[in-house]
């Protein structure tokens, strides 16, 4: 026998299904979620206008097809006076199912192709930045100044940016919806993404291609600074990391260098040259840790060092066994790398 509470009366099931759909759709919306419909640069604006055009055409098609379905159910077969319709079924299929869609799709191809071509065009005076995807974080290199950082990409407002996108392992996809379209990072196939940020601000981006258990926590920030602020940011990162400013920090540096930390992470100007994990030379100035998994606070950093697996299961960082005093020293050292 069928349990009536599971099947339920039909309207209730329909309402439950509708609620479920709304919940799933709504889960993607939050105040912090970046939207491609809130563009902050010309590339994203172009993509937005194609999006609206496609929505407009889709709505028009929906209304026409929906109207025809309603008309056909009300009218029944043949005409009002009982004679067969002058338009045959085959004619409906040829016109409505082949000719009209062909015209619409060909028409849509024009703005799509021209937009894609314009967005991939070389921009004179562009700043080149290399971004390499790792499971599950982003390495960021500024080849002209040898600055290396991670998970936070600083760019100057108003200057064209040219990102060279590569991957160290599987396919990832780089997507900052408010600035540009998404571009895949494919093994052995460097891709280029061009955009200009027109407004200072912090724009959240994410990996847009499923790449393993922590795909959802492979996010990054693009920070668009006014040009003078960007210059200062770049100057601050030239050369070695700053010296520890106090005794506790310098104790932390010793622990860092003699423990497994230095085997996996690099800090410019020190003996730490590990390549497995993110470069930590300017770690203290970053807003987040674990590729925007959590805010970069002392508490979160302590938790991350002691047991990164509890915050982001499956990442490469093993638990580090240190005494509480050693942990405080490590935190002091890392938070002062800025
Ligand atoms: Cu990287 Cu998904």
Calculate how far, in angstroms, residue 133's C-alpha sits from the geometric centre of ligand 1. 8
Residue 171 pLDDT? 98
Sequence-distant (≥ 6) Cβ neighbours of residue 59 within 8 angstroms: none
Of 46-55, 75-84, 117-126, 300-309, which range is least confident?
A: 75-84
Calculate how far, in angstroms, residue 131's C-alpha sits from the geometric centre of ligand 1. 13
Residue 2 pLDDT? 46
> Mean per-residue pLDDT for 96-124?
93
Calculate how far, in angstroms, residue 216's C-alpha sits from the geometric centre of ligand 1. 7
pLDDT digits (tens, 9 = 90+) for 148-194: 999 999 999 999 999 999 999 999 999 999 999 999 999 999 999 99
pLDDT digits (tens, 9 = 90+) for 235-284: 999 889 999 999 999 999 999 999 989 999 999 999 999 999 999 999 99
Residue nearest to atom 1 of ligand 1 (CA): 172
Which ligand 1 atom sits nearest the alpha carbon of residue 216?
Answer: 2
Angle between helices 324-335 and 247-258 (to 10 degrees): 100
Residue 26 pLDDT? 58
pLDDT at 20 over 80: no
d(CA 172, CA 312) in angstroms, rounded, equals 18
Residue 184 pLDDT? 97
Pocket of ligand 1 (CB under 6 A): 133, 136, 172, 207, 209-211, 215, 218
Considering only residues 177 and 2, tell me which one the structure prediction assigns the higher pLDDT: 177
Place of tokens 């028009």: 60
- Confidence category of residue 25, pLDDT binned at 50, 70, 90: low
Residue 30 pLDDT? 57
pLDDT cut 90: percent of the chain above it: 76
Half-sphere exposure of 104 (CA within 13 A, CB side): 16
């Amino acid at each position: 026998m069928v349990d009536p509470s599971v099947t339920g009366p039909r309207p209730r099931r329909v309402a439950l299904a509708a609620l479920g759909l709304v919940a799933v759709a709504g889960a993607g919306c939050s105040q912090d979620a970046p939207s491609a419909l809130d563009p902050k640069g010309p590339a994203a604006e172009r993509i937005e206008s194609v999006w609206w055009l496609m929505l407009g055409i889709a709505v028009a098609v929906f209304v026409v097809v929906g109207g025809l379905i309603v008309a056909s159910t009300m009218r029944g077969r043949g005409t009002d006076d009982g004679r067969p319709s002058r338009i045959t079924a085959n004619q409906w299929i040829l016109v409505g199912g082949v000719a009209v869609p062909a015209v619409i799709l060909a028409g849509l191809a024009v703005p799509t192709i021209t937009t894609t071509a314009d967005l991939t065009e070389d921009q004179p005076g562009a700043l080149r930045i290399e971004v390499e995807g790792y499971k599950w974080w982003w390495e960021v290199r500024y080849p002209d100044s040898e600055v290396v950082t991670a998970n936070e990409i600083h760019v100057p407002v108003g200057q064209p940016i040219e990102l060279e996108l590569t991957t160290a392992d599987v396919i990832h996809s780089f997507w900052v919806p408010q600035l540009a379209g998404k571009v895949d990072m494919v093994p052995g196939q460097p891709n280029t993404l061009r955009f200009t940020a027109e407004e200072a601000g912090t724009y959240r981006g994410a990996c847009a291609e499923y790449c393993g258990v922590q795909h959802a926590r492979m996010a990054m920030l693009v920070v668009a600074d006014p040009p003078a602020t960007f210059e200062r940011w770049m100057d601050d990162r030239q050369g070695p990391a700053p010296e520890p400013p106090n005794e506790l920090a310098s104790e932390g540096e010793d622990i860092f260098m003699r423990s497994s930390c230095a085997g996996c992470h690099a800090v410019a100007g020190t003996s730490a040259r590990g390549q497995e994990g993110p470069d930590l030379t300017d770690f203290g100035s970053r807003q987040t840790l674990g590729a925007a998994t959590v805010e970069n606070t002392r508490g979160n950093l302590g938790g991350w060092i002691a047991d990164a697996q509890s915050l982001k299961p499956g990442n490469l960082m093993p638990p580090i066994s240190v005494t509480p005093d050693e942990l405080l020293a490590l935190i002091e050292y890392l938070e002062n790398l800025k």
